[in-house]
Amino acid sequence: MTRFVKVGTGGGETTWHRAMLDLRPGDVLLLEPGFYALPQGKMLADVTIKGLGASPEDTRITSFFQVDDASSRIVFENLCLIPYKDSNTLDIPEGVDSFVIFRNCVLRGTGNKTTTLAISGKATVELIATKILNGTVSFFKTADFRLEMADSVIDYVSEEFGTLSLEGHGTAIINNSKITGTLNTFDYCNVELDIHNSYVGNLNMGGKTWLNMYKGQTGQDNSYSLYARGDCWLNIMDSVFPTSFCLADRARVLLHGSDVYSLQLKDDSQITVTNTLVRASANFEDRTKGDANRVTFYGNGDYQYFFYMIGKSRFKGRNLTFKPNGAPMLVGDEAKLAANALYSNEQPLEVECANKNNVSILGIKWTLIKK
């Protein structure tokens, strides 16, 4: 049976410590604005804790929590959660099968390797209109998870730790949200990742990651916007990548209607790209394959070649536009290019190549430069 327990300092109200001692599954704690501390932490099972202030910062809890094995649902609402010393704010250990919901909350991290939300069990985690500041979220190798993040922020940038780390097996759905640092998936994971109308500092993906991205934006402060390796499959539309877009191993990508600073492919990776701008360079190495339709390739002076192919790479294209701005194209080794172009702002286009038979460009004039 649900009990509504009002916690405060007024007449007839329960004190914070008494409420924690008497906490039962099914309880709804209603906290008046104030500062609450519980240094010893608390195991939670099937409870709701809600702040009654005008904003989350009006009701602050300094403590740490762990989800009990028997818990099926925990809700935090309109609260500011602050970890006690270097503890994780919330742990979902192995053996747990539970829903955990944060609604209109602020979670303040420690700014170090301590994880704000640490998930090792089976869990559905919902972040709704919630901010995680100076802290990280980690789904570990044993996790079987579903993350739903809407209208929320994870604000933490580190060269050592991922802002949002996804291991194990699960699904992450990110809508109308912002992740300022790195979103990581790992070599031994199996993850479906959906990012819609959201900002991510950069994406570092491995293992079996299945990414759907629509109207995404990455940051400009990293050497790469996206790095995908392993057996990743990516489907990306109407997104912006202001630094390098890198593929390795057996990564496969469908890229449509997007804006990319540079494309870099190596190993056995493949890309199919349509209606996209490549602003600095496109590099194809090893045994990579590219297929392009209605793509514009620019040169901006940052790279020696605006289009670069070596190894046994293959590229075919239709309705392409080349704007090299003084930079030549390279088709070296056993690489082969077959394309037709609509326009080049330099006539003729200069192509550096050891074997003219490996290059076919129709629709524009081009000239061979011997290596």
pLDDT digit string, tens, across residues 126-146? 999 999 999 999 999 999 999
Which helix (H) or strand (E) element contains residue 21? helix 16-21
For 312-365, list the strands marked E by DSSP.
314-323, 329-331, 336-344, 349-353, 359-362
pTM of the entire structure? Answer: 0.94
Say how far apart CA 104 and CA 53 lie, in whole Å.
Answer: 12
- Distances 85 to 40, 79, 334 between C-alpha atoms, Å: 11, 19, 59
Whether the ω angle into residue 93 lies within 30 degrees of 0, i.e. cis, is no
Positions in the chain short of pLDDT 50: none
Check: CB of residue 48 under 8 Å from CB of residue 77: yes
What does the block give as tokens for 168? 């194990």
Report the length, in residues, of the chain: 371
Is residue 212 a contact partner of residue 193, using CB atoms and an 8 Å limit? Answer: yes
242 Cβ contact partners less than 8 Å away, ≥ 6 residues apart: 218, 219, 220, 225, 259, 261
Give the number of other Cβ atoms within 10 Å of residue 31's Cβ: 24
Residue 1: per-residue pLDDT: 66
Q: Residue 148: how many CB atoms within 10 A of its CB?
A: 17
pLDDT at position 12 is 66
Nearest residue to 197 via CA among 182, 212, 184: 212
Residue 150, judged by CB atoms within 10 A of its CB (0-12, 13-18, 19+), counts as middle
Spatial CA neighbour of 83 closest among 108, 66, 103: 108
Alpha-carbon gap, residue 262 to 308, rounded angstroms: 11
- For CA atoms 197, 153, 68, 47, the dihedral sign is negative
pLDDT at 86: 86
Region of 279 (left: φ > 0; alpha: ψ -120 to 50; beta: rest) is alpha
Q: What is the chain's Cα-based Rg?
A: 26
pLDDT for 161 equals 85
Measured distance CA(63)–CA(17) in Å, rounded: 12
The structure tokens 């020696």 sit at 304
Query: In degrees rounded to 5, what are phi and psi of residue 56?
Result: -60, -35
CA angle 169, 172, 177 (to 5 degrees): 155
Would you give the distance in Å from CA 324 to the centre of its chain?
32
Q: What is the pLDDT of residue 361?
A: 94
pLDDT digits (tens, 9 = 90+) for 199-248: 999 999 999 999 999 999 999 988 999 999 999 999 999 999 999 999 99
pLDDT at position 346, please? 76
| Interatomic CA distance for residues 140 and 40, integer angstroms | 24
Specify the pLDDT at position 207.
95
Q: CA-CA distance, 319 to 309, in Å (whole number)?
A: 19
